């Protein structure tokens, strides 16, 4: 992945903040946050957050973690002489797919790709990585280039404590095989992630399954994967009933393509491709070109 930090994203100040809550302790998990690494020294005990304890660690965004499949979180503070410090959080999810989804939800369109774990991004004052069933989130106290490199070294040491890797969701590999960049891609597994990255009423009307949201050719796209073609067809019919109830400006042509008129973004086009539902929103020419490209990818 390659990109720059998004203007609306500042990791340390928005979704993840430490609170004064006292978490439980699980000594058996401590090796995942070692006492020292790459010139860094752990300066606090390791907090372990299980179940609803997560609300003590995550201020205002814990429900997204639960949606993806949260198991537990570890947190602690590290320092690097003379004056660098970092808050470190390691989230264990119920599968590598869940961890990858959480990772993409936080990193889409942000940071610069760095070689840590299976995927990682480094931005101003933060580093986020994915490996196996874990997502690591590190927040530095300063944002200069030197501290960024030190933060990267700490992230590298932490990911080496995780012995196992995991597969990418197959659905996420399809756009990449078609030559579309992955920096904007988000693996969604529920309503919160979908609303965060594809906030359209007509999209939320589709029965939710695992899907991907991305951006290419100046347009946004959404792909939902259902169990089979019949299930995808039923999903579109269910959504159509909801669109009628909501009085959305939706029309269906003779070829089975649904068109939704958008106020400022042109149109959105939805169509079934086997077990997939593909939706593309944006300007007319760009969205048509992207829809054609994605349709070919899904057919192949």
* Counted domains in the chain: 2
Say what the pLDDT of residue 210 is: 95
Asked if residue 285 belongs to a domain, the reply is: yes
In terms of domains, do 240 and 198 share one? yes
In terms of domains, do 117 and 16 share one? yes
In terms of domains, do 40 and 137 share one? yes
Asked if residue 165 belongs to a domain, the reply is: no
In terms of domains, do 129 and 178 share one? no
CB contact at 8 A, 42 and 76? yes
Cα–Cα distance measured from residue 179 to residue 293, given in angstroms and rounded to the nearest whole number: 10
Q: Where are the beta strands (DSSP E) in 156-257?
A: 186-188, 211-216, 219-225, 250-252
The pTM is what?
A: 0.87
- Alpha carbon 102 to its chain centroid, in Å, reads 4
Asked if residue 15 belongs to a domain, the reply is: yes
Examine the fold and report which residue of 159, 182, 216 is the final residue of a domain before the chain moves on. 159
In terms of domains, do 54 and 185 share one? no
Is residue 292 exposed (0-12), middle (13-18) or buried (19+ Cβ within 10 Å)?
A: exposed
Say what the pLDDT of residue 83 is: 85
Asked if residue 2 belongs to a domain, the reply is: no
Say what the pLDDT of residue 131 is: 97
Provide CB contacts within 8 A for 14, sequence distance 6+.
Answer: none
In terms of domains, do 42 and 82 share one? yes
pLDDT means per 10 residues, the chain with 300 residues, are 37 37 42 86 94 90 96 95 92 97 94 94 95 96 80 94 94 88 90 94 94 92 96 95 92 91 79 95 80 89
Asked if residue 23 belongs to a domain, the reply is: yes
Say what the pLDDT of residue 264 is: 64
Q: Which helix (H) or strand (E) holds 148?
A: helix 145-159
Cα–Cα distance measured from residue 99 to residue 104, given in angstroms and rounded to the nearest whole number: 9
Q: Where are the beta strands (DSSP E) in the chain?
A: 36-37, 40-42, 47-50, 70-80, 84-93, 112-113, 119-123, 126-131, 134-140, 186-188, 211-216, 219-225, 250-252, 258-261, 267-273, 276-282
Count of alpha carbons within 13 angstroms of residue 153, beta-carbon side: 17
Cα–Cα distance measured from residue 186 to residue 49, given in angstroms and rounded to the nearest whole number: 25
Say what the pLDDT of residue 183 is: 80
Range of 188's domain? 170-299
In terms of domains, do 147 and 204 share one? no
CB contact at 8 A, 122 and 114? yes
Q: What are phi and psi of 74, to 5 degrees?
A: -115, 145
Say what the pLDDT of residue 96 is: 97
CB contact at 8 A, 125 and 133? no
In terms of domains, do 154 and 281 share one? no
Cα–Cα distance measured from residue 103 to residue 119, given in angstroms and rounded to the nearest whole number: 9
Examine the fold and report which residue of 129, 159, 189 is the final residue of a domain before the chain moves on. 159
Asked if residue 175 belongs to a domain, the reply is: yes
CATH number where 186 lies = 3.40.1000
User: Which residues in 129-152 are b (16+ Cβ under 10 Å) and which e?
Assistant: bbbbbbbbbbbbeeeeeebbebbb
Asked if residue 191 belongs to a domain, the reply is: yes
Examine the fold and report which residue of 133, 159, 185 is the final residue of a domain before the chain moves on. 159
In terms of domains, do 152 and 174 share one? no
In terms of domains, do 144 and 222 share one? no
Asked if residue 3 belongs to a domain, the reply is: no
In terms of domains, do 232 and 118 share one? no
Is residue 110 exposed (0-12), middle (13-18) or buried (19+ Cβ within 10 Å)?
A: buried
What the block records as the tokens of 262 is: 């958008």
In terms of domains, do 134 and 194 share one? no
Cα–Cα distance measured from residue 137 to residue 155, given in angstroms and rounded to the nearest whole number: 8
């Amino acid at each position: 992945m390659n990109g720059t930090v998004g203007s609306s994203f500042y990791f340390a100040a928005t979704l993840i903040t430490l609170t004064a809550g006292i978490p439980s302790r699980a000594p058996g998990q401590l090796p995942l946050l070692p006492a020292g690494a790459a010139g860094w020294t752990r300066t606090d005990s390791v907090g372990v957050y299980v179940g609803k304890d997560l609300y003590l660690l995550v201020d205002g965004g814990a429900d997204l973690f639960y949606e993806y499949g949260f198991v537990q979180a570890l947190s602690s503070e590290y320092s690097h002489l003379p004056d660098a410090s970092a808050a470190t959080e390691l989230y264990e999810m119920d599968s590598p797919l869940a961890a990858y989804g959480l990772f993409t939800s936080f990193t889409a369109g942000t940071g610069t790709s760095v070689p840590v774990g299976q995927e990682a991004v480094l931005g101003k004052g933060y580093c986020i990585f994915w490996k196996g069933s874990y997502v690591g989130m590190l927040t530095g106290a300063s944002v200069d280039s030197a501290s960024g490199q030190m933060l990267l070294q700490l992230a590298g040491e932490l990911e080496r404590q995780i012995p196992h890797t995991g597969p990418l969701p197959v659905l996420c590999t399809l756009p990449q095989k078609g030559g579309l960049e992955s920096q904007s891609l988000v693996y969604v597994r529920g309503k919160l992630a979908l609303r965060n990255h594809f906030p359209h009423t007509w999209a939320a009307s589709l029965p939710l399954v695992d899907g991907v949201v991305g951006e290419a050719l100046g347009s946004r796209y959404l792909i939902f994967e259902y169990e089979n073609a019949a299930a995808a067809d039923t999903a579109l019919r269910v959504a159509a009933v909801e669109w009628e109830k909501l009085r959305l400006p939706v029309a269906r042509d003779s070829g089975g393509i649904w068109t939704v008129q958008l106020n400022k973004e042109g149109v959105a086009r939805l169509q079934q491709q086997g077990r997939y539902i593909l939706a593309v929103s944006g300007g007319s020419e760009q969205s048509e070109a992207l829809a054609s490209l994605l349709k070919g990818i899904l057919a192949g």
